[in-house]
């Protein structure tokens, strides 16, 4: 073939998963390199709701990378949405029917990050017409990368993840988190803890929803519940769990979708018992009409 007739190589299909991994790894390394050097600490709605220049910088980094590869895709990121549940729900309502929507939490576990407690993560999910098709959670402290593709399984460093096998609450290690809203969610959370603690092996509250969900996927936790979360905290983790054989619903037992804020995520075996205990304790986070 004549040199001038050669067609230049054009990348026609870029892997969504490869881009998600690249973004999570790059942002994760950068976040870790800035550990302990946070200069400006701002709060969103209260002194408990922290945001740093690292959260904002990491989100910008991820946005740029995604848009370099997929300029037509939409992006929903924690740091680009105003504070509070209303703002998140509104942003999600507008974005959820986008053909391709990336859902980013640049630092999940910001409070831990600020305090130097090594349990935080980068969470990146891609939804196609509202259904999560790729989920990546990266833990820079342990250099653990959890990856899931819809219908193709979930992996941590190339090894398939599988949920734990225990079938009873009494053999289960659970995790939860404490939402900031104090008038309604706090008493609900206390009621849930009080009902569950005597029934299970123990309960942890590590402070990163995404990482807790990755741990359920990997069989390190049997289940996790938390009230008042946002789409970016759980979208990637939900796919990790589903692709590892587990179950994800809201606290009323309805199947997971992007708008779920009160979440129950388990190995499947203990799901109904966990739901029932929360319901009996009136600790689902849903107000009675
Ligand atoms: P973040 O660190 O990205 O804010 C811990 O219980 C979990 O709750 C974390 O995933 C944390 O995510 C999330 N979280 C913290 N503040 C929150 C808020 N105001 N609303 C909803 N979720 C919050
Ligand atoms: Ca988060």
Whether residue 107 is predicted with pLDDT greater than 90 in this model: the reply is yes
Tell me, using a 6 A CB cutoff, whether residue 233 lines ligand 1.
yes
What local confidence, expressed as pLDDT, does residue 83 receive?
A: 83
Q: Which protein residue has the closest C-alpha to ligand 1 atom 3?
A: 108
The pLDDT tens digits for 251-277 are: 999 999 999 999 999 999 999 999 999
What pLDDT is stored for residue 228 in this prediction?
A: 94
Find the mean pLDDT for residues 72-82.
91
What are the pLDDT digits (tens) for 211-226?
A: 999 999 999 999 999 9
CB of residue 181 inside a 6 A radius of ligand 1? no
Mean pLDDT of the chain: 91
> Please, which pLDDT band fits residue 49 given cuts at 50, 70 and 90?
low
- What is the CATH T-level fold of the domain 16-160, as seen in this structure? Fructose-1,6-Bisphosphatase; Chain A, domain 1 (3.30.540)
The predicted structure's pLDDT at residue 253: 98
- 228 in contact with ligand 1, CB cutoff 6 A: yes
Strand partners, 126: 102, 134
> What are the CA-CA distances from residue 134 to residues 48, 124, 183, 256 (Å)?
31, 8, 36, 15
pLDDT score at 175: 98
Task: Tell me the ligand closest to 119's alpha carbon.
Answer: 1
Nearest residue by C-alpha to atom 23 in ligand 1: 229
State residue 37's pLDDT score. Answer: 79
- Is the CB of 49 inside a 6 Å radius of any atom of ligand 1? yes
Residue 10 has pLDDT above 70, yes or no: no
CA distance 277 to 225: 12
Predicted local confidence at residue 36, as pLDDT? 84
Q: Break the chain into its structural domains and give their ranges.
A: 16-160, 169-280
Q: What is the pLDDT of residues 85-95, one digit of tens each?
A: 889 999 999 99
Q: Are the C-beta atoms of residues 83 and 44 closer than 8 Å to each other? A: yes
- CB of 273 within 6 A of ligand 1: the answer is no
Question: Quick one: pLDDT at residue 66?
Answer: 96
**Confidence check: pLDDT of 82 > 80:** yes
Beta bridge partners of 136: 124, 147
> According to the model, what pLDDT value does residue 9 have?
47
Q: Quick one: pLDDT at residue 12?
A: 44
Closest approach atom of ligand 1 to CA 209: 10
Number of neighbours of residue 38 by Cβ within 10 angstroms: 16
Q: Is a pLDDT exceeding 50 seen at residue 11? A: no
Question: CB of 166 closer than 6 A to ligand 1?
Answer: no
Residue nearest atom 16 in ligand 1 by C-alpha distance: 49
Determine if residue 50 is left, alpha or beta; phi over 0 gives left, psi from -120 to 50 gives alpha, anything else beta.
beta
**Residue 210's pLDDT is what?**
98
pTM over 0.85: yes
- With the most atoms of ligand 1 within 8 angstroms of its CB, the residue from 233, 235, 237, 263 to mutate is 233
Please tell me the distance between residue 183's alpha carbon and the centre of ligand 1 in angstroms.
Answer: 17
Residue 106 has pLDDT above 50, yes or no: yes
Res. 47: pLDDT tops 70: no
DSSP string, the chain: --GGGPPPP------HHHHHHHHHHHHHHHHHHTTT----EEESSSTTSEEEHHHHHHHHHHHHHHHHH-TT-EEEEGGGS-SSHHHHHHHHHHHTTSSEEEEEEEEETHHHHHHT-S--EEEEEEEETTEEEEEEEEETTTTEEEEEETTTEEEETTEEP------SGGG-EEEE---S-TTTHHHHHHHHHHHHTTTSSEEE--S-HHHHHHHHHTTS-SEEEESS--HHHHHHHHHHHHTTT-EEEETTSPBP-TT--SEEEE-STTHHHHHHHHHHTT-SSPPP-
- Residue 208 CB–ligand 1 contact under 6 Å: yes
Ligand 1 pocket member 55 (CB < 6 A): no
* CATH of region 169-280, choose from 3.30.470.20, 3.40.190.80, 3.30.420.10, 3.30.750.210: 3.40.190.80
């Amino acid at each position: 073939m004549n040199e001038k007739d050669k067609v230049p190589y054009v990348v026609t299909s870029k892997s969504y998963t490869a881009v998600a991994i690249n973004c999570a790894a790059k942002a994760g390394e950068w976040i870790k390199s800035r550990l302990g050097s946070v200069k400006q600490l701002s709060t969103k709605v209260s002194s408990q709701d922290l945001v740093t220049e690292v959260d904002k910088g990491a989100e910008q980094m991820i946005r740029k990378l995604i848009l370099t590869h997929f300029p037509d895709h939409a992006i929903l990121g924690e740091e680009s949405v105003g504070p509070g549940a209303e703002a998140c729900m509104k942003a999600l309502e507008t974005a959820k029917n986008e053909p391709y929507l990336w859902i980013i939490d640049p630092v999940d576990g910001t409070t831990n990050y600020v305090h130097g407690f090594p349990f935080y993560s980068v969470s990146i999910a891609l939804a196609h017409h509202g259904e999560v098709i790729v989920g990546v959670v990266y833990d820079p402290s342990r250099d653990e990368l959890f990856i899931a593709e819809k219908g193709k399984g979930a992996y941590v460093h190339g090894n398939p993840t599988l949920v734990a096998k225990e079938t009873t609450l009494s053999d289960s290690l659970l995790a939860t988190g404490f939402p900031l809203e104090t008038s309604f969610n706090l008493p609900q959370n206390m009621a849930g803890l009080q009902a569950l603690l005597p029934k299970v092996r123990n309960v942890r509250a590590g402070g990163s929803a995404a990482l807790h969900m990755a741990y359920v996927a990997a069989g390190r936790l049997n289940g996790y519940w938390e009230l008042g979360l946002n789409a970016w905290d759980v979208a990637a983790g939900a796919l990790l769990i589903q692709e590892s054989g587990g179950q994800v619903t809201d606290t009323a037992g309805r199947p997971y979708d992007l708008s779920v804020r009160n979440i129950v995520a388990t190995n499947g075996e203990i799901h109904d018992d966990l739901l029932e205990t929360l319901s009996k304790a009136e600790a689902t986070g849903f107000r009675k009409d």
